[in-house]
Structure 1
Amino acid sequence: MPFAAVNGINLHYRVDGAQNADAPWLVLSNSLGADLSMWTAQVEAFSKHFRVLRYDTRGHGHSDAPKGPYTIEQLTGDVLGLLDALKIERVNFCGISMGGLTGIALAARHPQRLNRVVLSNTAARIGSPDVWVPRAKRSREEGMLAIADAVLPRWFSAKFIESEPLVFAQIRDVFVHTDNEGYASNCEAIDAADLRGELAGIKVPSLVITGTHDVSTTAEQGRALASGIPGARYVELDAFHISNIERAGEFTPTVLDFLTGQP
């Protein structure tokens, strides 16, 4: 199990498509309460075109979960530190929800490290203290099981949950075993991040993907994100919050078309 020492923590990562030594890199960044396994449906297709680097965001999966709160600067710094540790100069980046917020900050502040960026089911300002403060408090004090049944039904349609019980069970298993402190500290990072004023300065070619039925980061917020980034493309899927899983058959080719096509 590979780890990189990054910014005082051990960051767990995984590489697929390494046999393509000349292929460009693609970094995949997970949502809050998930880990790198959330990209399983995309890895085979993506690794035919890219060397795919997945990682567990700090506080998630097998990465360290130091006491927080965390900041968006730490989340972007972890990505840059991982790239430096692996001697990777430039990458494409695809993030969902919290991972998409990380992608916005990278594109705004570190464009020299990016080729293209995919921002899925995210926004430049996600939620409010009314959401994040009590959720962080409850996850710390009561644990992840206490919030699972409130959070996870917002990720997928009821139809998907009913038709894909094994997929949903795996997602739930990862969620309830996420470190309490890591989850809460990332809630605080999201709550403190407001990147709306930085969108106009983004020059990295960008694709924004939203879900029509997403109540966590709405399609309206996604359209605002896309309109705020000069030249950004916008795609809306018939999905809830975790569109790369619920609509994998549409999400995967949409991302590949953007990353491999003409600017």
Structure 2
Amino acid sequence: MAVVPLQYRFDGPRHAPVVLLLPALGTKWSIWEPQMPELTREARVLRVNHRGHGESPAPEGAYTIAELGGDVLALLDRCEVDRCAVVGVGLGGMTATWLAAREPERVSRLALLSTAAQLPPAARWQRLAALARSSGTVSVVSEYTRSWFTPGFADQRPDIVSRLADELEEVGATGYAGCCDAVATVDQRALLARVRAPTMVVSAVHDPETPPGYGQRIAAGIPGARFETVAGAAHLVNIERADRVNELLVEHLGI
């Protein structure tokens, strides 16, 4: 499959070191807003939207993590970014892992949030893909967003929950389903040992999608990786516990 020209944007000082942020499945670059004030003080932040998300094109058919990673590599080449730190959450974390293993000289530091090297059962992701293709992304919102936040946060900040649900509904069915297929088939366990960048793996204590055991296994497979858990959050830990995640990122990225 051909490379897709991803929608992207830069923020922060023009000549500062680049930090690439990769979002979760069904979300756009807006999920990183809680990190922007901290990261843009000393870094040039590059945000992207995966295939079919935002204004990024969505080819028909199933995608793979390698194809999503290839899109990002092509973007880095186009933007003349030879080396950068990479932060990913969920699907973005899988893509970030592929980048760091495939092109280790291009990734200076790596932070993986709420992600997994493999995420069974594949049948669940195949079912979500089929449902989106037949009935649109509106048909998956209720089920898919259930893991994003703890009930307490959802009650306190219904505005955030509603906004992200609306953004998911705007994601094209083709792009969402193709990315679900990528998650269904991913198995990066053999890639982990090839990651050379200093790595931090962060898991949320109350994440039902990728509970801490998944993060522990990633950290165990990457040489020298650091593992952190964050209390009081579910899958989108960078939003629900932005305070703690920002502390961890600033420390790990050295900015």
The answer to whether the superposition gives a TM-score over 0.5 is yes
- TM-superposed deviation, 1:168: 1.0
Q: Match for 2:144: what amino acid?
A: V
Q: State the distance in 1 between where 2:59 and 2:14 align.
A: 34
Equivalent in 145, 149, 166 of residue 138 of structure 2: 145
1:166 maps onto 2:159 in alignment? yes
Q: Is the 8 A contact 2:28 2:53 kept in 1?
A: yes
Equivalent in 209, 233, 242 of residue 248 of structure 1: 242
Q: State the distance in 2 between where 1:234 and 1:94 align.
A: 14
Deviations 1:95-149 (A, max 9, x none): 0000000011111111011100101000111232221111110011011111111
For 2:80, the equivalent position in structure 1 comes to 87
Q: State the distance in 1 between where 2:246 and 2:163 align.
A: 20
Is the partner of 2:36 in helix, strand or coil? Answer: helix
Q: State the distance in 1 between where 2:125 and 2:21 align.
A: 24
Task: State, as a whole percentage, how many aligned pairs show the same letter.
Answer: 36
Q: How does 1:66-145 map to 2 (within 5 A)?
A: 66-145=59-138
For 2:10, the equivalent position in structure 1 comes to 15
For 2:150, the equivalent position in structure 1 comes to 157
Q: State the distance in 2 between where 1:242 and 1:183 align.
A: 17
For 1:209, the equivalent position in structure 2 comes to 202
Q: Is the 8 A contact 1:127 1:216 kept in 2?
A: no
Is the partner of 2:146 in helix, strand or coil? Answer: helix
Q: Match for 2:114: what amino acid?
A: N
Equivalent in 242, 251, 254 of residue 257 of structure 1: 251
1:236 maps onto 2:229 in alignment? yes
Deviations 1:24-75 (A, max 9, x none): 0000001000001110111121010110000101121111111121111111
For 1:4, the equivalent position in structure 2 comes to none
- TM-superposed deviation, 1:10: 3.2
Q: State the distance in 1 between where 2:119 and 2:32 align.
A: 22
Q: Is the 8 A contact 2:20 2:85 kept in 1?
A: yes
Q: State the distance in 2 between where 1:75 and 1:222 align.
A: 21
Q: CA RMSD in A?
A: 1.1
Is the partner of 1:189 in helix, strand or coil? Answer: helix
Q: State the distance in 1 between where 2:144 and 2:187 align.
A: 22
Q: State the distance in 2 between where 1:89 and 1:151 align.
A: 35
Is the partner of 1:168 in helix, strand or coil? Answer: helix
Q: State the distance in 2 between where 1:24 and 1:201 align.
A: 24
- TM-superposed deviation, 1:8: 4.6
Q: State the distance in 1 between where 2:65 and 2:138 align.
A: 26
Q: Is the 8 A contact 1:76 1:106 kept in 2?
A: yes
Q: Is the 8 A contact 1:210 1:235 kept in 2?
A: yes
* Structure 1: segments with no counterpart, 5+ residues: 1-6
Is the partner of 1:188 in helix, strand or coil? Answer: helix
Cα 1:58–1:186, aligned 2, differ >3 Å: closer, same or farther? same
* Structure 2: segments with no counterpart, 5+ residues: none
Q: Is the 8 A contact 1:41 1:248 kept in 2?
A: yes
1:218 maps onto 2:211 in alignment? yes
What number of residue pairs does the alignment pair up?
253
